[in-house]
Structure 1
């Protein structure tokens, strides 16, 4: 099963490589925005997206993002993925 988790694009990290920083439930993760780019890359800042394995797969509205996060948290499916992301972020910080 593929799990897309809502995340909000908060900054563009590498416009040449189409990379951006997304906030996923308080965890920041760099993602590719190549699949969702439809205009200037800076126009993605503040947009909500569904993120799967480092790719922003589609743009969604804030209400859909909130409902999806609530459903995933309620089902417990997002918890393991978010914990893995937190551990990965900690490992990256420790190596920096």
Structure 2
């Protein structure tokens, strides 16, 4: 199974960007998403931004991931 995560772009440098993934900063390639800007949300898969996502949709997705993580932390 493959998983792609929404991340917010915090810095740009040519075809590379730094994104924020839940407080973790990571370098990714933005070669597949020309025209992105700082503040945009992109879908990241194995070090590459593969698409741009609406900020509201990104927030909903991140909230669902947080909810799943909270459920995993609860004892059975």
Q: Give the TM-score range, shorter chain.
A: 0.7 to 0.9
Shift of 1:73: 2.3
Gaps of 5+ in 2: none
Structure 1 position 57 matched with structure 2 position 54: no
Per residue, is there more helix in 1 or in 2?
Answer: 1
RMSD: 1.6
Size of the aligned set, in residue pairs, is 70
**Inter-partner Cα distance in structure 2 for 1:33 and 1:44:** 10
Aligned to 2:7: 7
Aligned to 2:65: 72
Normalised by the length of structure 1, the TM-score is: 0.66
Per residue, is there more strand in 1 or in 2?
Answer: 2
Normalised by the length of structure 2, the TM-score is: 0.81
Structure 1 position 28 matched with structure 2 position 1: no
SS of corresponding position for 1:63: helix
